[in-house]
């Protein structure tokens, strides 16, 4: 299937993905139903079969997306000749971030943009929502240093909102309403985003060349991870995500994704289409829309604008959580935002695929409930099964023993596990054959890293599943998780910190083990891969938060540091060195000339 992933017809990929995933789910349903019939079919067998159908369908949906991404090659769209004339605003929303680190990224991106020779077309706006007055004071001081270093007066701007209504979405909306008329496009970033100037210029060229393109999303690469958890996630994002994203783009077509950052929007399309509603009621299901990005993409598509993911765009970077606890905190916010989308499933005028995207986001968080329901039903099943009837024929003198269906149960387990590992090893094989593996340290290191990442994710999955399940129940019970500040500081967790964060997971695992032993001792061995990681959760959390010193999980940015990353590191080193000098005016009282 040649051509760029975002430019092929979406109907066929969607039909293939839906069909294959439903076939996989139906196959699992039939196998388990036959397994349940071996000792007499009852209601709990039917319930387990339905649960395994839903769970297998969801796993198959993700697997098919990855395999489909291997069937196409990303190629940049042909662009007409002509100079870039559009004016672009680069938006950097910040919320209680360290201004030294954040503004060093701004300085590096501005320098990279100026090096393209088109820097005069780009302005950078730092949009502060910081509530901490000490941090806000430092922002104003470092903004003056940033403008002075870059000689950027009139090109780099800073403003702090007094009312952070709507959080990041409200911050961007406020800028669009007050200043958007001066710009054709806006590049929306996060505080930890970093992009090459050439990439930003290329995005603007593609927007200018495609008048109906309302939003262009890049695939950000996770960088600078140092812990075992962070390195595994960084490798997975760099190695697997581009292929899965290509499969996603094939199915999305004109109704593509928006992930909230490292994406460029057409300002007037965004202004006329993306006003977000304030939902009736209180959070977590009411109030401001938390996961605004999916909603904004759906609103653009509803208005007829194209939303596209161009996975060939390199030079787009971000940073990720360095330990499982920070990941779980961020995931709690995403969970609430995705479940809140249930209020929007029937919103008028949305494209069918936009509704399906909302449904996918909801399923991503409630799918653990189906697995847990299946495991609980399996533990309870022996107590609901009818007693065996060895003489079903009234006039037959010899007993008839039930047919053993263990092989089908084992086959089903292998099939479900295969849905998890097949796409990743297929991607590794394709990378080895295509030469892509060289940028990850070679084929041998790639296969070792893929195996290690699968092992690591298998160990941490039950712990993450526990956190995700708790988040879902918290939302269902009406608990608002709010919008906590991202932790970009020290990542290492002591055993005490890990125990404080996960003792409830240990207790849950102990109860699950005791309950299984008491009610279905034959299932204990099968449940150990889920229960054991829960019992040792504090050890996993602490161990995975420590610095990684293995030779695995190598990514292209490790082997060749991108220019904008190198320059940001150099600027940050200079600024941090000056911040450490005695008497440096970087903290303390707010300067009298700075206004909030």
Domain ranges of the chain: 88-318
The residue written with tokens 């195996």 in the block is 451
In this structure, the dihedral spanned by the alpha carbons of residues 62, 63, 66 and 70, taken in order and rounded to 10 degrees, is -150
What Rg value do the Cα atoms of the chain yield, rounded?
26
| Predicted local confidence at residue 418, as pLDDT | 77
Helix pair 537-544, 524-535: axis angle to 10 deg? 50
CATH 3.30.1300.30 fits 88-318, yes or no: no
| Predicted local confidence at residue 242, as pLDDT | 93
| Predicted local confidence at residue 408, as pLDDT | 54
Cα 331 to Cα 311: distance, rounded to the nearest angstrom: 24
Q: What's 11's DSSP letter?
A: H
Residues 6 or more apart whose CB falls under 8 angstroms from that of 213 comprise 206, 207, 266, 305, 306, 308
Cα 330 to Cα 486: distance, rounded to the nearest angstrom: 7
| Predicted local confidence at residue 28, as pLDDT | 87
What is the layout of strands, in order, in the sheet containing 185-188?
A: 156-160, 122-128, 88-94, 185-188, 263-266, 213-217, 306-309
| Predicted local confidence at residue 5, as pLDDT | 40
Residue 115: count other Cβ atoms within 10 Å of its Cβ.
15
| Predicted local confidence at residue 324, as pLDDT | 96
Cα 470 to Cα 488: distance, rounded to the nearest angstrom: 24
Residues 6 or more apart whose CB falls under 8 angstroms from that of 516 comprise 379, 523, 524, 527, 531
The pLDDT averaged over each successive group of 10 residues in the chain (596 residues) is 46 90 90 73 85 91 91 68 92 95 97 97 97 94 95 94 89 95 97 97 95 96 95 96 91 90 98 92 93 96 96 94 95 96 95 95 94 88 63 52 50 70 94 96 97 95 96 96 70 95 97 93 88 97 94 95 97 86 48 32
Q: Are 46 and 406 in contact (CB under 8 A)?
A: no
Query: What predicted TM-score, i.e. pTM, was given to this entire model?
Result: 0.89
Q: Are 175 and 91 in contact (CB under 8 A)?
A: yes
Write the DSSP string, 174-219. HHHHHHGGG-SEEEE--TT-EE-HHHHHHHHHHHHH-TTEEEEE--
Cα 510 to Cα 532: distance, rounded to the nearest angstrom: 9
Q: Are 338 and 291 in contact (CB under 8 A)?
A: yes
Q: Are 250 and 68 in contact (CB under 8 A)?
A: yes
Which tokens sit at 398?
Answer: 């010899």
Q: Which long-range contacts (CB under 8 A, 24 or more apart) does 163-170 make?
A: 164/95, 164/129, 164/131, 165/288, 166/276, 166/288, 167/95, 167/129, 167/288, 167/290, 167/483, 168/93, 168/95, 168/129, 168/260, 168/292, 169/276, 169/288, 169/289, 169/292, 169/296, 170/288
φ and ψ of 221, to 5 deg:
-100, 130
């Amino acid at each position: 299937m040649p051509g760029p992933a975002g430019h092929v017809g979406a109907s066929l990929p969607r039909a293939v993905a839906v069909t294959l995933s439903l076939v996989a789910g139906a196959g699992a349903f039939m196998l388990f139903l036959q397994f349940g019939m071996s000792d007499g079919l009852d209601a709990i067998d039917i319930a387990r079969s339905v649960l395994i159908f839903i769970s297998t369908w969801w796993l198959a949906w993700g697997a098919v997306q990855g395999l489909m991404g291997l069937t196409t090659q990303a190629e940049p769209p042909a662009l007409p000749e002509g100079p870039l004339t559009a004016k672009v605003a680069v938006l950097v929303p910040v919320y209680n971030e360290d201004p030294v680190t954040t503004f060093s990224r701004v300085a590096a991106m501005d320098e990279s943009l100026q090096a393209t020779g088109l820097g005069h077309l780009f302005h950078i706006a730092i949009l502060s929502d910081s509530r901490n007055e000490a941090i806000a004071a430092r922002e104003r001081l470092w903004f003056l240093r940033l403008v002075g270093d870059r000689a950027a007066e009139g090109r780099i701007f800073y403003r702090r909102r007094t009312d952070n209504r709507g959080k990041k979405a409200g911050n961007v909306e406020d800028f669009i309403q007050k200043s958007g008329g001066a710009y054709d496009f806006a590049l929306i970033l996060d505080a930890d985003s970093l992009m090459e100037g050439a990439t930003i210029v290329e995005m603007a060229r593609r927007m200018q060349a495609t008048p109906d393109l309302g939003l262009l999303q890049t695939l950000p690469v996770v960088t600078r991870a140092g812990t075992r958890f962070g390195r595994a996630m960084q490798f997975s994002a760099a190695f697997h995500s581009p292929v899965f994203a290509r499969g996603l783009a094939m199915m999305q077509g004109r109704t593509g994704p928006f992930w909230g950052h490292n994406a460029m929007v057409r300002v007037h399309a965004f202004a006329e289409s993306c006003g977000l509603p304030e939902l009736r009621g209180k959070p977590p299901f009411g109030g401001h829309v938390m996961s605004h990005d999916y909603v904004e993409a759906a609103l653009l598509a509803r208005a007829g604008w194209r939303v596209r993911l161009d996975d060939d765009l390199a030079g787009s970077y971000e940073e990720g959580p360095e330990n499982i606890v920070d990941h779980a905190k961020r995931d709690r916010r995403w969970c609430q935002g995705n479940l809140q989308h249930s209020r929007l499933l029937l919103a008028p005028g949305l494209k069918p695929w936009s509704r399906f995207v909302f449904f996918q986001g909801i399923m991503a968080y409630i799918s653990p409930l189906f697995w847990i329901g299946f495991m609980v039903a399996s533990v309870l099943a022996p107590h609901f099964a009818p007693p065996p009837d060895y003489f079903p024929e009234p006039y037959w003198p010899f007993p008839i023993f039930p047919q053993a269906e263990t092989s089908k149960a084992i086959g089903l387990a292998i099939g479900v596990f295969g849905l998890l590992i097949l796409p990743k090893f297929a991607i590794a094989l394709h990378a080895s054959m295509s030469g892509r593996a060289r940028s990850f340290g070679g084929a041998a290191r790639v296969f070792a890293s893929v195996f290690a990442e699968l092992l690591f994710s298998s160990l941490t999955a039950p712990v993450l599943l526990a956190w995700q399940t708790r988040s879902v129940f918290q939302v269902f019970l009406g608990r608002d998780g709010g919008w906590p500040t991202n932790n970009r500081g020290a990542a290492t967790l002591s055993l005490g910190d890990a125990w404080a964060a996960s003792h409830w997971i240990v207790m849950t695992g102990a109860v699950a083990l005791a309950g299984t032993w008491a009610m279905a001792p034959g299932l204990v061995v099968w449940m150990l891969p889920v229960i054991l990681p829960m019992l040792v959760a504090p050890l996993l959390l602490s161990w995975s938060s420590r610095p990684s010193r293995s030779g695995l999980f190598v990514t292209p940015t490790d082997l060749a540091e991108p220019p904008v990353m190198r320059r940001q590191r150099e600027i940050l080193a200079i600024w941090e060195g000056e911040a450490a000098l005695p008497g440096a005016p970087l903290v303390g009282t707010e300067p009298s000339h700075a206004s909030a």
